[in-house]
Structure 1
Amino acid sequence: MNNLEKLTLIEGNFTTEEAKEILHNVFMTKIKFHEHKNFSSIERFGKDDATAVNRIPELKKELQRVNEIFAWAQQHHKRLHLSSEIQISFIEE
């Protein structure tokens, strides 16, 4: 296996509503992941998961930015091209 693997997650032209739905779902999935991770840490260890606690507001801020971008695009009758690549690198434990 290569030391770096690349996967295409999103690639294409979309209406503002389609693009907003796609990105909203991606960001909400990540937010829910971190919320669940933090809840699990509190239940199991009695303390917050520091990574999750820090990441949730960052993701919410990015989601707010997504909404601003799509509001502008919709107001100006724009279609959008979305492109997203996942890069996987192997590191030693």
Structure 2
Amino acid sequence: MSNNLETTHHLLIDGEFSTEEAQTILMTLIGDKIRFHQQENLSHEERFGSSSERSRFRIDQLLQTRSDLTAVINEAKASGERLAINCNIEITRLSP
């Protein structure tokens, strides 16, 4: 196994948005991730007869993140502010 792991970086979101746009973008991303883990959990239950600890943990984290982001967006909306969002994806290839 090599210690030289290849990591790539990809810009997913980069811009200034109204609070409505920011809410749509961020809640869609988080909602998709929650649905992914819900499906993973259901699949795990069907195969193994128990829920996936990892998926349940991630769902809880994502629900908290959604709540936190909603608060930030609502505060910005109340103040008439726009939001700058920058989101990078970092992918590291791992040896099997």
The alignment's TM-score, normalised by the length of structure 2, stands at: 0.92
Alignment partners' CA distance in 2, 1:58 and 1:4:
25
- How well do the aligned residues superpose, as a CA RMSD in angstroms? 1.0
Alignment partners' CA distance in 2, 1:54 and 1:14:
30
Identify the residue that residue 82 of structure 2 maps to in structure 1: 79
For structure 1, list consecutive stretches of 5 or more residues without a partner in the other structure.
none
Alignment partners' CA distance in 2, 1:43 and 1:4:
34
Query: What is the deviation of 1:50?
Result: 1.2
Alignment partners' CA distance in 1, 2:15 and 2:78:
21
Question: Do residues 31 (structure 1) and 34 (structure 2) align?
Answer: yes
Post-superposition Cα deviations, 1:5-33, rounded to whole Å, max 9, x if no partner, equal 11111011100000011000000000000
Total equivalences in the alignment? 92
Question: Do residues 8 (structure 1) and 11 (structure 2) align?
Answer: yes
**Counterpart amino acid of residue 52 in structure 1:** S
Identify the residue that residue 63 of structure 1 maps to in structure 2: 66
The alignment's TM-score, normalised by the length of structure 1, stands at: 0.95
Alignment partners' CA distance in 2, 1:53 and 1:67:
21
For structure 2, list consecutive stretches of 5 or more residues without a partner in the other structure.
none
Task: Please list, as runs of the form range in 1=range in 2, the aligned pairs for 1:39-50 lying within 5 A after superposition.
Answer: 39-50=42-53
**Counterpart amino acid of residue 89 in structure 1:** T
